[in-house]
Structure 1
Amino acid sequence: MVKKYLLFLFLLTWGIKDSFAQLITDAKDVYEVSKSVNLNSPYHTTLSFFYNLEEGHYQPEDAAKTLDLAEVDDKNGERLAIKLKQIFEGKGILIRTSDIPNEQNYYDSTSSSGENIYYFDKQKLPGIFLQKTGETWKYSAFSVSQIDKLHSETYPFGTAKLLNILPKIGNEQYLGLHLWQLVGLFILLLLVFLAHWVFTLVVDKLILYLFQQYGYGKVGEDYILPVARVISIYLIVVLLSLFVRVLQLPIEIWSWIVVIFRTLKPFLITIIFYKLADVVAAYFTKLATKTESTLDDQLVPLMRKTLKAFVIIVGTLFILRDGLDLDIIPFLTGLSIGGVAIALAAQDTIKNFFGSVMIFIDKPFQVGDWITSGDIDGTVEEVGFRSTRIRTFRNSLMYVPNGKIADATLDNHGLRQYRRFYTTLTVTYDTPPALIEEFVKGLREIVLAHPETRKDMFHVYFNNLSSFSQDIMFYIFFEVPTWGEELRCRHEILVQIVKLANSIGVRFAFPTQTLHMESFPEKKTLVPEYTGGYDAKLNDFLKTELGRKTD
């Protein structure tokens, strides 16, 4: 009993320093394992394998007995056992004895055939499992055949050679680590600083210099340089993840480091693509400036926001799956079920979103256009995901849901090829007809002389006699794109009209009342009297003015 207790204390003290200390939790089982290899259950086979590969009891020949070597050479058993342990450590798989079944007839309930097998980690090591053969549990022949392949994947690019080189430096322990581990850490930190210096030199100096040489210095500094810096950090993390596992750090520490590395990789990739969205947006912004339409100028910010939102969502899913080992399938299934409820609750939001899509597809207006529809009256400033911003002529800002705009009948004044100008010029009743004719001729010449009026379609006529004036219709079109230019053209035309009227003596009428006194002793009646009667006067007018023959 005392011997068992002393052995337990020794293994406990030794286990604090060792990478697989948590495997040795049961003193009785440890004592039994130390006598012989126990293969009665997955629990005892696992204890036998790891215990015989610990520093205090290093017997790889006994550990090899836990492998089914039916398909390989028995002489390779020790080498394969050591490699298998290195695979567990390199993958950062922390095995807890409390999770391993201690049943001789254990079978995998997730298997359709109900086989007597036990998987350590189906996600990280799907090819490594224990299988019952006869009355013993061993690492299956298939698992043994996969060891060399998995070892190469765990320690790629020749890093596996370091597993045999570094331990030769020395096994003295300092601060709970071997001397070769401390030396390896020092070399690794040195390599990290060296790699950072090289990447910084290449990214900040070389790449920026090349862009400046081709006249894209600002593009390289504002868009390419931020992306390249994150890529350099990602490459350093990849190098660290490859070389740190060679140090064979205690599994309690290494298991957390593995999680950090697995999380950092998709996180940094997400940042890279997030910044690349700005690069893509900058490229399309340059293309949009070459087009006459201003609506695509608003489409670029929407595209940038959509890309960034998509990158964040996809990146988060990869971080949850690859970094934190969470099964995202139930999460996605929950989203699909919850999406129905969300869609019902957010019908207006979805309607407005598709309304914005239809605006960009149909292009009923563009930024800067003056549109009217019911209460909507103003200039389009911005088209967003949910609403369109319209600046009214009161200088207030109107937010109109895109769904409403998509269903409404819009009058787009901004798409007019010509802008109509219609007014009535009123002249006084004492203006003689000949002067009116000359005035109309002058108005037509003003229209023809102006560089921005439509020459093939305008109407200038003396067309009405109102209560206080003789009316001349002035109906023309300006060929200008904006309302501001239309106002300028109106100003120029009206100034010319006033100058014409002043130069030939035309007086404009305004509402007046004239009081006529018919009977005064010294004044005759205002009713005209003609020799020969009114018929004779009419015949004279028809003959002289219209060229008609009268009887």
Structure 2
Amino acid sequence: MSEQISDQLNLSSPYYTTLTFFYNLEEGNFKPKEAAKALDIPEELKEESERLTIKLKQILEGKGIIIRTSSIPNLPSYQDSTSGVKESVYYFDKQKIPGIFLEKKGNQWKFSSFTVSQITDMHQETYPYGTDRLLNLLPKIGNEKYLGLHLWQMFGMFLLIFLIFLSHFFFTFLLDRVLVYFFKRLEYQQIGENYILPVARIISYYLIVQLLSIFMPVLQLPVEIWSWIVVILNTLKPFLITLAFYKLVNVVAVYFARLATKTESTLDDQLVPLMRKTLKAFVVLIGTLFILRDGLNLDIIPFLTGLSIGGVAIALAAQDTIKNFFGSVMIFIDKPFQVGDWITSGDIDGTVEEVGFRSTRIRTFRNSLMYVPNGKIADAVLDNHGLRRYRRFYTTLTITYDTPPLLIEEFVKGLKEIVLAHPDTRKDYYHVYFNSLSAYSQDIMFYIFFEVPGWPDELRARHEVLIQIVKLANSLGVRFAFPTQTLHMESFPEKKDLIPEYPTDSTYYQKKLGEFLGNELKKK
């Protein structure tokens, strides 16, 4: 305090009461008995008045509160109206020290009886774990000043720096040796080193900052310096906690990634990175609010109110984005498809490669990439070919008109045996029949199903079945028809007819079919 006041007690306004309190507690004019008169102390605490007065000053210093007398009202009839009701009280800082305020008693302004009743608890909160005992111990070392600091303050700073290095060495040894060895014994060394160890190191830094917050107030540094240190320490605490949870999200993601590998659905594999990004964004948002509130001492209620109002405006302006986000949520809940499935819907036709926050990436059969908004997919009617249990294969086998009925019967029997013998065909439902007479051929319907997981497997199975059909036709002497025009002419004795001669005995065709089944299908 640069201003001087007379020795006469003056408690006529908040300004003079504050000035009287601090003036009588200065080093060169230390009169705690006079300063105690600025407190509304009840009769039962009169004997402890001086001790309570000193504790109140230590609370303000320990919390880094700068009291600027120039901003304190000098009106005897001052009334605070910030709460909506005019009261004869004066708050120094409602956010940092709401329990410390002046109250008018008669014609005098004093620290309120409520403030006096809270001094012991607030002092213990400011100097926890018995550090308040050091307040009286360290000043006994020496009061000489060097560079603006007492000898005991400099000694305390060197001692605190030594404790910090000692703590850092201890935590480093504990983490790098003990923790890594522990995870190595559990056969989780890679997870421990890559995911758990970074989180543990951040926690160790947090513990060091916590130690500084506990012991540094004891040094009673100049309040102009200490107030900035308090802001830095209070900001570091929520920042390090936020950083630890940010790293911890990777641990959670690894756990769920392992669970996703145990499921058949590949959509779970896409959900893990989506969940990791969402959790990290949530951690950053909540951590920022705590940094603003605890570190920078800002009132976040108006911010949250403005955020909610602004959120409505943003929601109206970004309806499509929100729709796509909830579309992605519905995709992960309903699971209409998974990564690798072939889906079709209108212009959509391709294989699903990735499902994101806003859109789904689909690889078309032209090998181009199609980005489809999730909102559109959620509302569309999808045909998921990837979820088919059976894949249909339908073709018509056309044989020439000169093929006799006995040969057709044996050919159809052979086709059915091919279906039954193939390992990937559906055995309980298929149709192979002589089905139609077209303009140039006799038609056999070949209608079967393959029980295979993907299109490449379906193509392989088709290839194998068609190869067997061609081999069967060659073995029985069946000729496949194609669009032709035949000109019939009178036969000459010296000319042989182009139409082959087929045996009329049915046992001949049965023998040929038996040879084919024995030589070809039994190989399978």
TM over 0.5: yes
Corresponding position of 2:391: 419
Corresponding position of 2:204: 232
Corresponding position of 1:158: 130
Partners of 1:491 and 1:226 in 2: how far apart?
55
Residues 290-333 of structure 1: per-residue CA shift (max 9 Å, x gap): 11112222112111111111111111111111111111111111
Matched, 1:182 2:159: no
Q: Matched residue of 2:444: which SS? A: strand
Checking the alignment, whether the CA contact within 8 Å between 1:71 and 1:145 is kept in structure 2 is no
Q: Matched residue of 2:216: which SS? A: helix
Partners of 2:348 and 2:16 in 1: how far apart?
79
Corresponding position of 2:465: 493
Partners of 1:396 and 1:58 in 2: how far apart?
83
Letter in 2 for 1:99: S
Partners of 1:81 and 1:110 in 2: how far apart?
27
Please state how far the C-alpha of 1:521 moved relative to its aligned partner.
12
Partners of 1:127 and 1:497 in 2: how far apart?
94
Q: Matched residue of 2:340: which SS? A: coil
Letter in 2 for 1:324: L
Letter in 1 for 2:318: A
Letter in 2 for 1:327: D
Corresponding position of 1:323: 295
Corresponding position of 2:278: 306
Corresponding position of 1:128: 100
Corresponding position of 2:521: none
Checking the alignment, whether the CA contact within 8 Å between 2:64 and 2:226 is kept in structure 1 is yes
Partners of 2:332 and 2:97 in 1: how far apart?
49
Partner of residue 308 from structure 2, selected from 333, 336, 339: 336
Letter in 2 for 1:436: I
Matched, 1:77 2:53: no
Matched, 1:94 2:76: no
Partners of 2:66 and 2:332 in 1: how far apart?
54
Corresponding position of 1:347: 319
Corresponding position of 1:43: 15
Please state how far the C-alpha of 1:345 moved relative to its aligned partner.
0.8
Please state how far the C-alpha of 1:253 moved relative to its aligned partner.
0.8
Matched, 1:434 2:406: yes
Partner of residue 28 from structure 2, selected from 40, 53, 56: 56
Corresponding position of 1:284: 256
Checking the alignment, whether the CA contact within 8 Å between 1:71 and 1:141 is kept in structure 2 is no
Q: Matched residue of 1:379: which SS? A: strand
Classify 1:447/1:71 alpha carbon distance in 2 versus 1 (closer, same or farther; 3 Å): farther
Checking the alignment, whether the CA contact within 8 Å between 1:378 and 1:390 is kept in structure 2 is yes
Partner of residue 254 from structure 1, selected from 226, 242, 264: 226
Partners of 1:489 and 1:219 in 2: how far apart?
43
Partners of 1:109 and 1:441 in 2: how far apart?
101
Please state how far the C-alpha of 1:466 moved relative to its aligned partner.
2.4
Please state how far the C-alpha of 1:468 moved relative to its aligned partner.
2.7
Partners of 1:111 and 1:287 in 2: how far apart?
54
Corresponding position of 2:474: 502
Residues 371-415 of structure 1: per-residue CA shift (max 9 Å, x gap): 100110111111111111111111111111111111111111111
Checking the alignment, whether the CA contact within 8 Å between 2:96 and 2:297 is kept in structure 1 is no
Superposed, 1:8-27 pairs within 5 Å as 23-24=1-2, 26=3
Please state how far the C-alpha of 1:491 moved relative to its aligned partner.
1.7
Partners of 2:411 and 2:44 in 1: how far apart?
113
Partners of 1:237 and 1:496 in 2: how far apart?
78
Partner of residue 191 from structure 1, selected from 163, 166, 170: 163
- The alignment-based identity, stated in percent, is 76
Please state how far the C-alpha of 1:160 moved relative to its aligned partner.
0.7
Letter in 1 for 2:82: T
Please state how far the C-alpha of 1:195 moved relative to its aligned partner.
0.7
Residues 42-90 of structure 1: per-residue CA shift (max 9 Å, x gap): 1111111111111121111111111111254322111111111110011
Corresponding position of 1:368: 340
Partners of 1:283 and 1:350 in 2: how far apart?
28
Partners of 2:273 and 2:83 in 1: how far apart?
51
Partners of 2:393 and 2:184 in 1: how far apart?
53
Q: Matched residue of 1:85: which SS? A: helix
Please state how far the C-alpha of 1:359 moved relative to its aligned partner.
1.3
Residues 214-257 of structure 1: per-residue CA shift (max 9 Å, x gap): 11111111211111111111111111111111111111111011
Letter in 1 for 2:243: I
Question: What runs of 5+ residues in structure 1 fail to find an aligned partner?
Answer: 1-22, 527-551
Partners of 1:181 and 1:513 in 2: how far apart?
115
Residues 267-308 of structure 1: per-residue CA shift (max 9 Å, x gap): 111111111111111111111111111222211211111111
Corresponding position of 1:401: 373
Letter in 1 for 2:442: Q
Classify 1:433/1:142 alpha carbon distance in 2 versus 1 (closer, same or farther; 3 Å): same
Checking the alignment, whether the CA contact within 8 Å between 1:352 and 1:387 is kept in structure 2 is yes
Please state how far the C-alpha of 1:512 moved relative to its aligned partner.
2.8
Q: Matched residue of 1:430: which SS? A: coil
Please state how far the C-alpha of 1:470 moved relative to its aligned partner.
2.2
Q: Matched residue of 2:316: which SS? A: helix
Matched, 1:201 2:173: yes
Residues 172-202 of structure 1: per-residue CA shift (max 9 Å, x gap): 1111111111111111111111111111111
Checking the alignment, whether the CA contact within 8 Å between 2:168 and 2:208 is kept in structure 1 is yes
Q: How high is the TM-score relative to the length of structure 1?
A: 0.87
Corresponding position of 2:362: 390
Corresponding position of 1:15: none
Please state how far the C-alpha of 1:39 moved relative to its aligned partner.
1.0
Checking the alignment, whether the CA contact within 8 Å between 1:343 and 1:350 is kept in structure 2 is yes
Partners of 2:217 and 2:479 in 1: how far apart?
100
Corresponding position of 1:264: 236
Partners of 1:346 and 1:120 in 2: how far apart?
44
Letter in 2 for 1:312: V
Q: Matched residue of 1:472: which SS? A: strand
Q: Matched residue of 1:510: which SS? A: coil
Classify 1:522/1:454 alpha carbon distance in 2 versus 1 (closer, same or farther; 3 Å): closer
Partners of 2:212 and 2:330 in 1: how far apart?
49
Superposed, 1:104-123 pairs within 5 Å as 104-123=76-95
Q: Matched residue of 1:388: which SS? A: strand
Please state how far the C-alpha of 1:520 moved relative to its aligned partner.
8.8
Residues 349-385 of structure 1: per-residue CA shift (max 9 Å, x gap): 1111111121122211111111100110111111111
Checking the alignment, whether the CA contact within 8 Å between 1:355 and 1:403 is kept in structure 2 is yes
Corresponding position of 1:7: none
Partners of 1:520 and 1:307 in 2: how far apart?
91
Residues 447-487 of structure 1: per-residue CA shift (max 9 Å, x gap): 11111111010111121222332222111111112122112
Partners of 2:144 and 2:83 in 1: how far apart?
46
Aligned pair count reads: 498
Checking the alignment, whether the CA contact within 8 Å between 1:425 and 1:508 is kept in structure 2 is yes
Partners of 1:111 and 1:432 in 2: how far apart?
107
Letter in 1 for 2:55: K
